[in-house]
Each structure stands twice: as structure tokens, then as C-alpha cells.
Structure 1
Amino acid sequence: METESDKISSRIISVNPEPLGVFTLPIEKHLIYKKCIKTIAKNAPHDLRQKYNNEKYTEHVCNQSNQNIFSSYPELADLKSDINTIILNYIDQIGFISKEIIINDAWVNISKENAILNWHYHANSFISGNYFVNFNSQVDSMLGFKNDRITGLRLSPSMRIPDNRNKQTLYNTPMWKVNLKEGQIVLWRSHLSHGYDEPNKGKNRITLSFNSMPKICTDNDNRYSFQLQD
């Protein structure tokens, strides 16, 4: 008869995980920021608005390389300060060092019913983020993140071990949706592909997206560096 000592023991170890930071603003602050951003989304002038052919149901404010929502709308200075604090907190929590960052891009997304967000990543930053300004998780599409350990290696046709679709794990799932709520800010490292392909069911999904860099970029030994201007 087989005893416990006769059995082969095992465990699965996760290595090189991908850190997502989820930060929740105090409700009083969020409601102030929400009111301000909804006013901006409604009244922004034509030269600050963008609509792209591949996003029929989404409009953006300050989504050009020479624009930044925080530069165009100084009334969002407190939100910018909060996001700066959050980014530095995230960098510290995941074990890196940065004394000062700049938000090199920031824009507002207004997504109507049937909107999707094509999968993409950001090549011009180290840390990216999304603030859920007007968001109902019951009807608005959740932001998803691709598992690049799978999607980055699978070119079709290719040989691979088939997925067990009855057993979802961190290792066989190509995309994870993050269950976020209005008033929360999610951060991720900018190389991570994100988006949503399930059409939005809500009428007015509003988020504020941003990209950031350390103000002083160096190699790990501080031998080479350059400084960015805000």
C-alpha cells in the first residue's frame, strides 16, 4: 500500500511575474476630478479632439504628440500631483528607484456603445496607467492585458501543447481582464499589451490615460544618463 512518504511531491513556482498596481482615490477627490474631466470631455475645443478611423465609437482629448491634458487644463493640477505620487509609490513597491518622474503623455478617452480598444503597448514610456473616471463595471468593457509569455511566442501555424480549456491557469490564459472600479487607477509597465475587444455596452465610458518616464534616465550603474524636460 502506497504511503504519503512514497508519493512524488510537487509544486508549481511562478517566476518573473508582471506587476499591476491598483490605487483607489478617496471618494471626495474622485468626485471632484470626475466632474472636471466630464466638463472637459463635453466642452473641449475642436483642435484638442481626435477621432481615428479604427476607433469609430471613441473620441479622445489631447491625444496628439504635442498635447498633454495636464498642460491644456491646469485645473487638473491636483490630479497630476496625485498620479505623480502614485507612480513613484508603484516604482518603489516593485523594487526600483526614481526620485522624480514626468508624465510625458496624458489624454482623455470617451468611449460610446460598441467601442473597442485595439491591443497595443506604449513604446515611449516606462510606466503607463489608466484612471477610470466614469465607469460602470456592469456595462462598460473591462481593460485586459495580454500574457506575452503565450501571445509573444505563438506564430501560426506552430506546434504547442494544447490548452486545457476546462482548467484556466496563469500559464495557459492568453489574456486577463482586470476587475477595476470607477475611481481607481491602474499602473503597468509600458511594454505590456493591453486593450479590450468585447464591444462596450455602456453609453459613456470615460478614462484618463497617461505615460510616464523617470525625469533622469540612467543605466543601472549611473554611468550614462539623460534628463527629460517636463
Structure 2
Amino acid sequence: MMSKKASNCAICDNSNRASICAVCVNYRLNEYNSLLKSLKNHRDLLYSKLNELIAAKGKADDQLNWRVRQSEKLTNLKEKLRRSKEQLAQGKVKIERVSHELKVKYGVLKSARGTLEKNRVEKLEKFYPNLICTQSLGHMAITSERLHKQSVVIKQICKLFPQRRVHLDEERRDGSSGQYDLICNARLPRGLDPHSVPSEELAASLGYMVQLLNLVVHNLAAPALHNSGFA
């Protein structure tokens, strides 16, 4: 408690009595008012510090809770990773086992197929030798007849487009001499040189060759493209 200060009032100066005069009462009220203001400021300061401590503790709690949640998430992720690795390992083992079983089955099937093919050939050779021989002879006869007909057709085509090789001893007016291939009496160029014969004769001989090639390809079922030059 505050001690009373000395006062000129003889009545209120007694410490065992309360102030009763207006001057002393106002004086005491001013003192109490100053004390209340000081206490209020001190209380506000303490409240401010308390709020700061509460805010700091809240942040610390939030960080702690965040770390706890992250730790739980990390633990869950590690557990998922462990289970995934286990499932992957089990899947690899299962795939290897199934692959091995399939290889064994394929081997058995291949062996069985080879055995069946061998048995089929043996049975055909044993029970149908005459049929096989007859079919082979028929195939040979058909092939021989086809070749004979092709030969006859080619001879007839060659009669339509007669070909021969000549040797020119004397030089002609166009400056050509030496050995040439003729088709229907028209000279073919030497090798791949189109200037070895006159243009009129070149056009005629190549036209004959194209017609001959079309007929031969159609009857022999042979490819039309070749790389043997003009002759």
C-alpha cells in the first residue's frame, strides 16, 4: 500500500484515519489514478508479450504438426514403395515361371509337331506310294508339255522377228563397220551406245525388240526388266 505523504491538514494527517477533506481526497485520487495508469500500461505490456509468446508457440506448434504430417506421409510413401517392390519382385518371379513353363510347352509342342510330320510322311510313303509316284509323274508330264509348248511358241515368235549377227567388212556411208546384231534386218546398237546406228534404224530395231519382249514375257511369264543392254 502507498504510504501517506505529509499534509498540512491536521485532521487527515493522522495515519489511522482516512482522508476526509476535499484537498486530501483529490490528492489521494490523483495518486491512485497515476498508479492505475502505470499498472494498466504494465498489464498491456504483459498482454503484448503474452500474445507474442502465444503467436510464437502457435507457429512452433504449426511447424511441429507439419513435420509430424510430413513424417507420416513419408512413412506411408516408404511403406507403399516397399509393397510395390515386393509386388514387382513377385511379378518378376511369376513372369519367369510362366515364361519357363511356356518354353517347356513350346518345346513339347515342337517335338510333337515334328513327330506328327514324320509319322505323316512315313504313312504317306507307306500307304500311298503309288499315288505319290503318279502325282510326281503327272507333274513331270505337265512340266514337259509346258516346256515343249513354250519352245514351239518361242520358235514361232522368232520366225516373226528373225535375228542374226553380221560382220560388216566394208565401212558404210554412215561410218559403221564391224559386228552387229540384226532383228528384221534392222541393226541393234552396240551395248549401251545408241549412236552406234542411225536414228531411223535405231527406232525400228528397238520397236521390234519391244514387240518381241512383250510376246516372250507373256508366254514365258518372265520378268520384263533386264540389264543386258540393247542386244
State the TM bucket, normalised to the shorter chain. Answer: under 0.3
Higher relative contact order (CA 8 A, sep 6+): 1
Larger Rg, first or second structure (1 or 2): 2
TM-score, length of structure 1 as denominator length: 0.21
Q: Greater helix percent: which structure? A: 2
Q: Greater strand percent: which structure? A: 1
